[in-house]
Amino acid sequence: MSAGNMLGFPLGKGVSKFDQTAVAQAFSNQPLYVHQGQSSALYRVTWYACLTQAASSSSWIGGVNGFQVVYSPAVTGGSVTSPAQPLATGQYNTVGTTIGSGIVMCEVIPGSNIGFSFGYSSSGATPAQYAIHMIVEYLGDSTKF
């Protein structure tokens, strides 16, 4: 049995991280990590995003779908996209309350990429900017659970 936190979830080994500030763009299937193992493995992607500069008119970081992970699971093969994790409604274009975070679990086949997508829109002379941070953790060979 592997080490765990107080809730009993396994502690992962961080294998990749993504940290950017002053971002003023959307991301579509941005590569995070390529699984190098010989068999399928379970990964946890933990993310956090916050507005750091409001747009002069309006903005919507995360967009309709918010944060999503794109990967190739062992069960179905091919590329899939995780369910949408949007930021809460009513929290757009306000520094201090436009914040989102979440966790996505994925089982990945050998040699496949783990990527992410995150929406963005901004209008006005001053564009919105945000910070986004995430970590990819390896939880183990999924054939041995």
Question: Could you give the domains of the chain?
Answer: 14-144 (2.60.120)
First and final C-alpha spacing in the chain: 10
List, for residues 78-128, the tens digit of each pLDDT value. Answer: 899 999 998 876 668 999 889 999 999 999 999 999 999 999 999 999 999
Distances (CA, A) of 81 to 6, 11, 60, 91, 93: 30, 24, 21, 25, 26
Strand partners, 53: 129
Residue 145: which pLDDT band, with cuts at 50, 70 and 90? Answer: low
The pTM score is 0.88
